[in-house]
A and B are shown apart, each in its own frame.
Chain A
Amino acid sequence: MTNQAYYTYLLRLADDNLILGQRLSEWCGHGPILEEDIALSNIALDYIGQSTNIYKQLASLSNDGRDEDAIALTRMESEYVNALMLELPNGDYAVTIARQYYYSSFYLLYLDHLKTSSDVFLSGFAEKSIKEVKYHLQHATDWMLRLGDGTPESHSRLQHAVNGLWPYLGELFNDDELDVEAANEGWGTSREALRTAWTDRLNAVFAEAGLTVPSEAWYHSGGRKGRHTEHMGFLLAEMQFLQRAFPGAKW
């Protein structure tokens, strides 16, 4: 493996978690009920915590004087390599839950494979993060059932949400040359290989929730190459504001 390949592989993982954590943290203080506000904040904290661990690792790898905050908060938009689905606005609670379900059901399988990575950092990271993500998936699944099988309104909102996010799923499962290299060399894992197990679980949950599984095959991509949606610029404008306004300041 080249240093560049390993670095980029970690960066994708970190950016996925940071951007989703940033989105979820927008709910803090605005959730549908206090108990749920607290639960969502916990999940946001987990994602940001996981991304922080990786950015710290990246800082020690690159050894160019940039710390985890410089990496996380001062890059240009085109240098972020997260999946597009994670940067989309939260929408209503159904959209947030649908995304949580899609992502955490993918991510749990992904981490489960990463546990056997030949790279000590990645296997350790997976081992540690799995405990958190199991809970995220349980939370998301419970809410998929509640909203899918709740009231006519919640059902229709959730169906709308799962349909709307569907074209962003392909990117999560797409193996590009880097994923192939990492999987072949045993320090990463194939995303495509997770699809069957992921679909089986999805079919079961959708059936119980009374949801129709979308069938469209075409999907959006570009996040891994730094080509983002229009929403990303605003997300970064907020997230980077202080780092940009006061370059080099300590907080």
Chain B
Amino acid sequence: MPANNKKDKRLVPHNANISVMSNSNWPLWEIFIRSKNGLAHKHAGSLHATDAKMAIENARDVYTRRMEGVSIWVVRSADIVASSPADKDFLYEPANDKVYRHPTFYEIPPEVGHM
């Protein structure tokens, strides 16, 4: 759990149910942009829109003003399911015990060359 201060009413969960909010608050969307073919979509940022169509159009104006994209994905922030760092050690102790997963764990004689 993030250390939200419960006394601060501004701090609401990220996945707050938008439909119960006031009439004019537009939901938040996450925007992913493929900058050119051959590359994966990358998280560009977020914005507000009333529906998916508007989110794509707004993303075009907000995040591709300088020709940064060939394809746009949008997803409502509330629909994103994220892993939760429930165990506080998660952050501070990365899985560095499985060193056999890293190429530098293996010794290749220099005369073999680059591998």
The answer to whether A and B touch in the complex, with CB atoms under 8 Å apart, is yes
In contact, B57 and A142 (Cβ under 8 angstroms): yes
B53 in contact with A35 (CB, 8 Å): no
Kindly state the interface size class of chain A when it binds its partner: 10 to 19
State the interface size on chain B (CB cutoff 8 A): 12
Which residues does chain A contribute within 8 Å of B26, judged by CB atoms?
Answer: 33
**Chain A residues near B (Cβ < 8 Å):** 33-35, 38-39, 42, 138-139, 142, 146
**Are A42 and B65 interface neighbours, CB within 8 A?**
yes
Question: When A38-B61, A38-B62, A42-B61 are in contact, do A33 and B54 touch as well, CB less than 8 Å?
Answer: no
Known contacts being A139-B57, A142-B53, is A35 close to B65, with CB within 8 Å? Answer: no
Interface 0/1 of B45-79, CB less than 8 Å to A: 00111100110011001100100000000000000
Q: In the bound complex, what is the Cα–Cα distance between A146 and B24 (angstroms)? A: 13
Report chain B residues within 8 Å CB of A138: 57
Identify which of residues 75-94 in chain B touch chain A, using a CB-to-CB cut-off of 8 Å. Answer: none
Closest CB pairs A-B (n = 7): A35-B58, A39-B61, A38-B61, A42-B61, A38-B62, A35-B47, A35-B48
Chain B residues whose C-beta falls within 8 Å of the C-beta of A33 in the assembled complex = 26, 48
* Chain B residues near A39 (CB-CB < 8 A): 57-58, 61
Please name all residues of chain B whose beta carbon is closer than 8 Å to the beta carbon of A34 when the two chains form the complex. Answer: 48
Q: In the assembly, what is the distance between CA of A42 and CA of B59, in Å? A: 13
The answer to whether B54 and A142 have CB atoms under 8 Å apart is yes
Could you name 18 residue pairs across A and B whose Cβ atoms are closer than 8 Å? A33-B26, A33-B48, A34-B48, A35-B48, A35-B49, A35-B58, A35-B61, A35-B62, A38-B58, A38-B61, A38-B62, A38-B65, A39-B61, A42-B61, A138-B57, A139-B57, A142-B54, A146-B50
